Chain A
Amino acid sequence: MSIKGKAEELLAGIRQLSGEPFKIMEVCGSHTVAIAKSGIRELLPESVQLVSGPGCPVCVTDNSDIDRFLSLAQTPGVIVATFGDMLRVPGSKTSLQAVRAEGADVRVVYSTLDALEISRQNPDKEVVFLGVGFETTIPTVAVSVEIAEREHLSNYSILSMHKLVPPVLELLVTDPEVGLDGFINPGHVCSVLGTAPFEFIAGKYQKPSVVAGFEALDILEAIWMLLRQRQEKRAAVEIQYSRVVKPEGSPKAAEYISRYFEPVDAVWRGIGRVPQSGLRLKAQYRLFDAEMKFDLPKPKSVNTPGCLCGEILKGRRHPFNCRLFGKACTPLQPVGPCMVSSEGSCAAYYRYSQRRGMSAV
């Protein structure tokens, strides 16, 4: 059957099961992009609502963390290696891109392996990798520490601003203001963690969740599976994305996380402090911990006036509710992080609503 045929079949199934209002959070930023791109929200019956979640690592990085790595980038003798998404994120005053224009050595890398290579080639400089990401990315950072240790690359360190998905979901599942009925779980985070860390959504809170892939058809099928659970009056974590996600995940990759890191409380932009939702390098790896190597400032987190990013990350508001959206705030002139990262809700809806000629506001 063609893609269109399959989509129509799934939509018919969704319509049949719709009934009472049902609010679903798509946790992952890549899902938000796929949903914005395919226009799924407009195809769904009115009673089935999709809201974006906190699954864009750049977007949830707090201002205070951004200010910290900006000061690091401005330290003489330091090369900052980062994924490209972080370049334009505004801190309270400036951005990596701006400090780079003023002479800071900031390199965009595709992988921690590239950051290691920069360390090898610049033994007289300190190379710091900005560790931003969830459980999919964290094992790749852990391996980089292992390699640095093996090769005695003493000029390599990481600044761990990593975040864990299950603890923040636990916070959102109980948020009365959002009132979520079901979750589309992040596919590639689950390819590492498996489904066990997401069991609490059903076990403790009796809400369905489905691990979904990243094509429009995957998402439609996940929505249908969520509604089917409601229809059958049950709650479980199910896998739609079985071509990639195994129930047990990738134990070796998950084990790398716990071998190198330990959980700490972390501040999420717009959400605040979430217990045990961040990671720091364990004490025995402090030689590779930028927190230990450098005397970093501890700035306060500040809110960007007028920016609803925090509310959007909690699923309480939609980008179209922001008065700055598409006016004062665009991908070229971003006011908040949700407009910077290509996975941010604001950027996703800006890009695809422009293209489809929908009214943006």
Chain B
Amino acid sequence: MCLAIPAKVINIVEHSAEVDLMGNSRQVNIDLVADILKPGDYVLVHAGFALERLDESTAQETLALLEEVAAKGEY
């Protein structure tokens, strides 16, 4: 129930952001994020909310890992 995944911010309007969540466009609330977000930033998304901003390189690392696992199946 605590799962959260990285998503890329596409657009921001007031309290919410449109994000790219594993290839799907979603609206998430951004009230919990301290940083000022801009398009291209990465956020950690849980239950419709961005919990925090992620560094781009670390977000990419997570996404690459998720993709690699998805592509190869589990060992």
Contacts and interface: CB of A to CB of B under 8 A. Distances in A.
Contacts of A85: 1
Interface residues of B, number: 30
Contacts of A186: 2
A341 B1 contact: yes
Contact of B52 (A4, A137, A253): A253
Contacts of B3: 30, 188, 214
Contacts of B69: 3, 215-216
Given A83-B1, A140-B32, A37 B48 contact: no
A139 B68 contact: no
A57 B1 CA distance: 7
B60 to A, nearest CB: 9
B42 to A, nearest CB: 10
Contacts of B61: 243
A252 B33 contact: yes
A78 interface: no
Interface in B1-59: 1-4, 6, 29, 31-34, 44, 46-49, 51-52, 54-55, 58-59
Interface stretch (A15-23, A109-117, A195-203): A109-117
Contact of B32 (A111, A114, A139): A139
Contacts of A229: none
B50 to A, nearest CB: 9
Interface in A95-115: 110-114
Interface string A213-225: 1111100000000
Interface residues of A, number: 51
Contacts of B74: 37-38, 216
A114 to B, nearest CB: 7
B4 A136 contact: yes
A3 B75 contact: yes
A56 interface: yes
A58 B68 contact: no
Contact of B46 (A29, A137, A146, A242): A137
A309 B71 CA distance: 35
Contacts of B58: 242-244
Contact of B34 (A3, A243, A251): A251
A3 B1 contact: no
Given A4-B75, A216-B75, A253-B51, A113 B29 contact: yes
A137 B32 contact: no
A192 B47 contact: no
20 contacts: A2-B72, A56-B1, A132-B1, A133-B2, A140-B49, A143-B32, A188-B4, A191-B51, A214-B3, A217-B65, A244-B6, A244-B54, A244-B62, A246-B52, A250-B33, A250-B34, A250-B52, A251-B34, A252-B32, A253-B52
Interface of A: 2-4, 7, 28-30, 37-38, 55-58, 83, 85, 110-114, 132-134, 136-137, 139-140, 143, 146, 186-189, 191-192, 213-217, 242-244, 246, 250-253, 256, 341, 343
Closest 6 CB pairs of A and B: A111-B48, A243-B58, A252-B34, A250-B52, A136-B2, A253-B32
